[in-house]
Amino acid sequence: MSSFQVEEAMAAIGRAIAKHRVRCGISQLELGRQLGVKDEAMSRLERGVVTLTVDRLVQLADIFECNVADLLTQGSHRTTDQARYVSQLLGKLGTDDRTMVVEFVERLAARLAHR
């Protein structure tokens, strides 16, 4: 993995952390307190400037009540990771809403493939 790819992955993980934090209604300050880090460190973490340890990822997953894999794959550019994430999102919807989303994605993908 090139240094650019590592930086890109860390930024994606940071965005996933920020998304989970907001979803849980936790401020950066509060999350920092729970992790035992200062405000600036929390900001750097969400910007992907800091390389996370496995221990820190586990702590975050516990706080957000999600899997560590969720934090690692939500920002991934790998097709299989993206498909897994979309599947999780669809799993939260009812049958009619899932059908509508799938039809929308089919139309959008067809349109974008012709560009």
Per-residue pLDDT tens digits for 64-99 = 999 898 888 876 778 888 888 889 889 999 999 999
Are 24 and 64 contacting, i.e. CB atoms less than 8 angstroms apart?
A: yes
Rounded CA separation 66/70 (Å): 7
CA pseudo-torsion sign 103, 69, 23, 79: negative
Whether this prediction's pTM lies above 0.85 is answered by no
CATH architecture of 3-73: Orthogonal Bundle (1.10)
Does 6 score more than 90 pLDDT? no
Residue showing tokens 């950066």: 28
> Would you list the domain boundaries of the chain?
3-73, 79-113
